[in-house]
Amino acid sequence: MASNYGVKVPLFLLILSLIGSVYYSDASSDEESQPEEFVVTLDHSNFTDFVSKHKFIVVEFYAPWCGHCKKLAPEYEKAASILSKEDPWLILAKVDANEEKNKDLASEFGISGFPTIKILRFGGSVVQEYKGPREADGIVTYVKKQSGPASVEIKSADDAASVVEDKKIVIVGVFPEFSGEKFDNFTTLAERLRSDYEFGHILDAKLLPRGESSISGPTVRLFKPFDELVVDFQEFNVDALQKLIEESSIPTVTVFNNDPSNHPFVIKFFNTETDKAMLFLNFSSKNIDAFKSKYHDVAVQYKGKGICFLIGDLDASEGAFQYFGFKEDQVPLIVIQTNDGEKYLKTNLEPDQIVSWVKEYKDGHVQPYKKSEPIPEVNNEPVKVVVADTLQDMVFNSGKNVLLEFYAPWCGHCKQLAPILDEVAVSLQNDADVVIAKIDATANDIPQGTFDVKGYPTLYFKSASGNVLLYDGDRTKEDIIDFIQKNRDKSAQQESGKDEL
């Protein structure tokens, strides 16, 4: 069976690509200039045995054709060379997940995009996502922290000042002694969330730089650089405490600009499972203060009601505009994206319209917005072009058997598949009941619930009677045609044996 591995494309990854200067170096890889490789190469034959012998290891799953992987490679290698001098050795490894022999291994770790980096602890018994930077110095710093204790003891005011930084979220447990059920639950929480937050524990709250120093009983104190700067919790159920921390760690309004210190909060915003309201405008505009004030008011009004808020500077929002298909002459604009992918849009917005429009959305009075490329004036190539505005007519209402490719223009696998689909289309061009088509999934909205497009290319087949099937076979002309013939609905002419292909 052919692999469906491609580049996973949820919104937060597209936004991540926008702020890529923080995560990706522009340096190019020159393999011949590397006399020694410090990144350990693993595959299906040695992975389990190697990992089982180590308490801590970082593994990158990559594909040789992936542009982001190529950019990461020299930074990852440089970091590995630095970390190889640590005692004990902090190992960075890599697996070519594009290799057929490694596909089962990649599937085991849920790899759906490249590069994906995992942290494996205790011989692989604990697997966590790597959520750190992707340039060498940042990788080194992040890996060193992740390899140490989940929570560090704060013994002095200097320790506290170094742990509680102004621009980061830090969680500190205050205890009369470092033992007991509540302390154990805190350390469990720290292990669970260590890839997202920094943790410390302390006996004397007076050493901490912010908040009231008098604390009665064990307390978890959350420091953050926005809204109320300190939040205290006396809850020590691990699940409940995690939920409280997650809720308190999202700004009332997340700021999306070119300040790197804001980027972790932007990524966290796009990872939330709530509706996402995004206001995009030029931060240098004369009425920016009025927009910020009105937007903050509505964010406070709806906080905790299933919707979170972000304000984005036009200069920093190129990736978002590409994703949504917006144009600069539409700003100021606000868009709300729901968890199921529906989008709602208001363009050329005025500050006084923010509150009423969000209320209209919450009341169900705003119609969804659909992103679509223009309908082609000429569509006479063997593989037909579908856009969002023609999807219903060309696929669902066509009464034909349609093989539809969801692709991305930059996808290497899509480029390899293109001439094969051309051959399929030419072979079947005399069959009036079969259509081979393609849609740029990066430029057109895809109906939720009908097609599950997690990577590129993805192939779906819709029979004339309306059955929708995912094609997961080998990507050869013969296999694709065989699949179509087996799953198509035959016309009356074919049933009578009068049609010859």
If asked whether residues 174 and 208 sit together in one domain, one would say yes
Q: What is the pLDDT of residue 8?
A: 38
Indicate the helix (H) or strand (E) that contains 460: strand 458-462
In angstroms, the Cα distances linking 387 to 375, 395, 438 are: 7, 10, 9
If asked whether residues 358 and 337 sit together in one domain, one would say yes
List the end-to-end C-alpha distance of the chain, in Å, as a whole number.
26
Q: What is the pLDDT of residue 28?
A: 37
* Residue 368 domain flag: no
* Residue 30 domain flag: yes
Q: How far is CA 164 from the centre of its chain?
A: 28
* Residue 163 domain flag: yes
From CA 48, how far away is CA 52, in angstroms rounded? Answer: 6
CB 113 within 8 A of CB 6: yes
- Structure token digits, residue 135: 């340039």
CB 298 within 8 A of CB 332: no
Count of residues for the chain? Answer: 501
Q: What is the pLDDT of residue 339?
A: 83
In angstroms, the Cα distances linking 31 to 73, 75, 115, 142, 265 are: 10, 12, 18, 25, 35
CB 131 within 8 A of CB 121: no
Write out the catalytic residue numbers: 66, 69, 411, 414
CB 407 within 8 A of CB 437: no
Domain end position, chosen among 188, 218, 248 = 248
DSSP calls for 193-242: HTTT-EEEEES-GGGSSSS-S---SSEEEEE-SSSSSEEEE----HHHHH
If asked whether residues 320 and 225 sit together in one domain, one would say no
Tell which residue, 81, 118, 83, has the closest CA to residue 97. Answer: 118
From CA 453, how far away is CA 8, in angstroms rounded? Answer: 9
Q: What is the pLDDT of residue 491?
A: 57
Q: What is the pLDDT of residue 327?
A: 84
Q: What are phi and psi of 142, to 5 degrees?
A: -65, -45
From CA 94, how far away is CA 39, in angstroms rounded? Answer: 7
* Residue 500 domain flag: no
If asked whether residues 43 and 70 sit together in one domain, one would say yes
Domain end position, chosen among 218, 248, 278 = 248
Residue 321 is which amino acid? F
From CA 229, how far away is CA 287, in angstroms rounded? Answer: 27
* Residue 226 domain flag: yes
The residues that bridge with 459 in the sheet, in sequence order, are: 405, 471
If asked whether residues 26 and 114 sit together in one domain, one would say yes
If asked whether residues 125 and 90 sit together in one domain, one would say yes
Q: What is the pLDDT of residue 492?
A: 40
- Structure token digits, residue 69: 């992987």
Q: What are phi and psi of 276, to 5 degrees?
A: -120, 115
Q: For the chain, 501 residues long, give each residue's pLDDT as a single digit of tens.
A: 333 333 334 454 445 544 443 333 333 334 444 457 899 999 999 999 999 999 999 999 999 888 889 999 999 999 999 999 988 899 999 999 988 899 899 999 988 788 999 999 989 988 999 988 889 999 999 999 899 999 999 999 999 999 998 888 999 999 999 999 999 999 999 999 988 899 999 999 999 988 777 787 899 999 999 999 999 999 999 999 999 998 899 999 999 998 888 888 888 898 888 999 999 999 999 999 999 999 999 999 998 888 999 999 988 877 777 777 788 889 999 999 998 778 999 999 999 999 999 999 999 999 999 889 999 999 999 999 999 999 999 999 999 999 999 999 988 889 999 999 999 999 999 999 999 999 999 889 888 778 988 778 999 999 999 999 999 889 999 999 999 999 998 754 454 444 443
If asked whether residues 90 and 113 sit together in one domain, one would say yes
Q: What is the pLDDT of residue 35?
A: 54
If asked whether residues 17 and 142 sit together in one domain, one would say yes
In angstroms, the Cα distances linking 386 to 316, 375, 464 are: 31, 8, 17
Q: What are phi and psi of 61, to 5 degrees?
A: -100, 120
Structural domain that includes position 270: 253-362
293-301 long-range Cβ contacts below 8 angstroms, 24+ apart: 293/351, 294/351, 294/352, 294/354, 294/355, 295/253, 295/354, 296/252, 296/253, 297/355, 298/354, 298/355, 298/358, 299/252, 299/253, 300/252, 301/355
If asked whether residues 404 and 454 sit together in one domain, one would say yes
Domain end position, chosen among 219, 248, 277 = 248
* Residue 373 domain flag: no
Model confidence, pTM: 0.68
Strand pairing of 56-62 and 116-121? antiparallel
If asked whether residues 27 and 88 sit together in one domain, one would say yes
- Structure token digits, residue 274: 């709530």
Indicate the helix (H) or strand (E) that contains 49: helix 47-52
Number of domain units in the chain = 4
If asked whether residues 243 and 257 sit together in one domain, one would say no
* Residue 374 domain flag: no
If asked whether residues 349 and 404 sit together in one domain, one would say no
Tell which residue, 171, 138, 139, 172, has the closest CA to residue 155. Answer: 172
Q: What CATH number should be reported for the domain holding residue 294?
A: 3.40.30.10
Tell which residue, 375, 282, 292, 389, has the closest CA to residue 329. Answer: 282
Provide the 3-class DSSP secondary structure of residue 372: coil
* Residue 2 domain flag: no
Q: What is the pLDDT of residue 210?
A: 82
- Structure token digits, residue 200: 């410390």
DSSP calls for 252-312: SEEEESS-GGGHHHHHHHHH-SSEEEEEEE-TTSTTHHHHHHHHHHHHHHHTTTTEEEEEE
